[in-house]
């Protein structure tokens, strides 16, 4: 049976580059704007660019909050948040004030310099990951693989066992997370060359 793949378009996120990267691995993803259509799919990407607050405002305004949460609670489905799309899986975010997140993975998103980072923000460019826990998302990846980041905030998880890989930029922060059937990367796999393509393949093929 063919795996049905979708990319959520809620008004923020780098949809086209993700769509093109999936096409390179012969995955025809559908870009969806109707929240109720999410249930037809097996694997769904939740991208995000910009601020946590703006992303959550758009999610709520366009009626995505309940469908995303319901979809993620189905163990036969899989959700993958990218960058801000990963951050809004959290309970709260503190970008431009405190905002409620989707509360799918327990934790908060806070600015890196509030957590001890003394380097220039945003953190932009290539950086490596340290794999901490074996996971389907890191299959066929070597430790210290490089990925493309753009972030000033990071996810502080309540349960450290849900951290699959970390990255260091003035401090260590989670760069890959996983709770059951929900995955997230702080980096952009769609902009991360061969290693990023491998992550996308792993998610689709799992």
Q: Which of 95, 110, 162, 190 is catalytic?
A: 190
> CB burial class (10 A; 0-12, 13-18, 19+) of residue 23?
exposed
Q: What token pair was written down for 199?
A: 């992550």
| Closest C-alpha to 82, from 14, 128, 139, 158 | 14
Alpha-carbon gap, residue 129 to 94, rounded angstroms: 24
123 annotated active-site: no
Q: Which residues contact 108 (CB under 8 A, 6 or more apart)?
A: 90, 91, 92, 93, 94, 155, 156
Annotated catalytic, 117?
Answer: no
Out of 95, 110, 162, 188, pick the active-site residue.
188
Structure tokens at 45: 């990407």
Per the residue annotation, which of 83, 110, 123, 162 is the catalytic one? 83
Cα distance between residue 193 and residue 49, in whole Å: 19
188 tagged catalytic: yes
Q: Which residues are catalytic?
A: 83, 188, 190
């Amino acid at each position: 049976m063919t795996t049905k793949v979708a990319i959520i378009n809620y008004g923020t996120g780098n949809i086209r580059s993700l769509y093109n990267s999936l096409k390179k691995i012969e995955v025809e993803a559908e870009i969806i704007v109707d929240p109720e259509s999410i249930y037809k799919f097996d694997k769904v990407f939740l991208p995000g660019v910009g601020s946590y607050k703006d992303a959550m405002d758009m999610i709520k305004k366009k009626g995505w909050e309940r469908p995303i949460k319901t979809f993620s609670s189905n163990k036969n489905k899989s959700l993958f948040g990218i960058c801000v799309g990963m951050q809004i899986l959290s309970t709260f975010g503190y970008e431009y004030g405190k905002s409620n997140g989707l509360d799918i993975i327990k934790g908060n998103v806070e600015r890196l310099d509030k957590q001890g980072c003394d380097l220039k923000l945003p953190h932009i460019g290539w950086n490596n990951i340290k794999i901490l826990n074996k996971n389907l998302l890191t299959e066929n990846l070597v430790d210290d693989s490089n990925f493309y980041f753009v972030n000033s905030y990071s996810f502080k998880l309540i349960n450290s066992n849900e951290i699959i890989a970390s990255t260091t930029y003035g401090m260590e922060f989670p760069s890959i997370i996983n709770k059951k059937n929900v995955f997230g990367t702080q980096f952009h796999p769609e902009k991360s060359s061969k290693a990023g393509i491998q992550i996308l393949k792993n998610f689709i093929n799992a």
